[in-house]
Amino acid sequence: MKQLFLTFYFLLPLIPMQANDLPFQTGEELKFDIHYKYGLVMVKAGTANFKTIERNYNNIDSYQSILDFKTTSFFDKIYKMRDTLNSYINDKFYPLYHLRMIHEGNYHIIEEMVINKFGKEYTEVRVKRKSEEIIKFDTILTSNNSGYDILSIIQFIRSLDYSKMTSPISNISTFFGRSNVKITIRCEGQSIVEKSETLKYNTYKLALDFTDDVFKESKNAIEIWMSDDKNRIPVKIKAKLRIGAAEAYLVSYKNLKYPLSSEIKIPVRKN
């Protein structure tokens, strides 16, 4: 199930943006259904809620991102997950702190990440994991590029101007546990996502490559369809797993900063 959860994780800019230019605002909420697909069979595996709130972290004005994930009652019988992630970024939208609280079956951990240094050419973080009050590891991780925690990556992707992505972005990475996962992001152009017979979205399709063996294929490990409007919210996400695939679909939203102009509503035909 790590693969399924990571699908939602890998969703802040290399050049800081002004707060009024950001595609999100405090109070924004996005809700998703997560599905597992194997062959022609697809079942609902869980739900995910993503929130953005203005907070104060260590006397620093910041944005807090919160992601809650839980499996359905059906998947609870196979592998129960109740996970929560919290991340803080400062007014320049650099990562400050990340907290993972994982409850998966009989596996319960709390993992803290403090970003000591952040830059385009060097990032240093301290990661501490404990389970049942026992320290599992307490270590320093580094990367030779802009390194983010796994939740602030979501805001990074949303900050990009997809219409100007003529070449891949490859000078970023994310930290997960004791791993440093390098990421390449490519824009594959505009696309229409059909949610139902009466609802479609204009989107930009992004492809993400990873240097991590969690995924079946490192190239196009995850594909994301982002709304073609100022909000830039993920409408659909697909990940290739070792066995099958995971897909996430936007089901509702609240307090978006801008109108969701990418949404195409089709009138119901009357017989």
Bridge partners, 239 (sequence order): 222, 246
Which pLDDT value is given to residue 214? 52
Work out whether the CA dihedral 146, 148, 152, 154 comes out positive or negative: positive
The pLDDT score that the predictor gives to residue 151 is 85
Neighbour tally for 252: CB within 10 Å:
10
Q: Check: CB of residue 12 under 8 Å from CB of residue 154.
A: no
Structure tokens at 71: 């499996």
Q: What number is the average pLDDT over the span 236-254?
A: 87
Q: What is the pLDDT of residue 260?
A: 96
**Structure-token match 């990661």, residue found:** 127
Q: What is the pLDDT of residue 12?
A: 40
Coil, strand or helix at 163? helix
Res. 216 pLDDT band, cuts 50 70 90: very low
At residue 97, what are phi and psi to the nearest 5 degrees?
-160, 145
Tell whether the model's pLDDT for residue 230 goes beyond 90. yes
Q: Which residues neighbour 84 within 8 Å (Cβ) at sequence distance 6 or greater?
A: 66, 67, 68, 69, 100, 101
* Mean pLDDT taken over the chain: 86
Separation CA 160–CA 37 (nearest Å): 29
Determine the 3-state secondary structure of 17 from DSSP: coil
The pLDDT-based confidence of 95 (bands split at 50, 70, 90) is very high
Query: What is the Cα–Cα distance from 226 to 1, expressed in whole angstroms?
Result: 24
Is pLDDT above 80 for 81? yes
Rounded-to-integer distance, Cα 48 and Cα 28, Å: 14
Take residue 234 and report the two structure tokens written for it. 């993920």
3-class SS letters over 239-253: EEECCCEEEEEEEEE
Bigger pLDDT: 201 or 104? Answer: 201
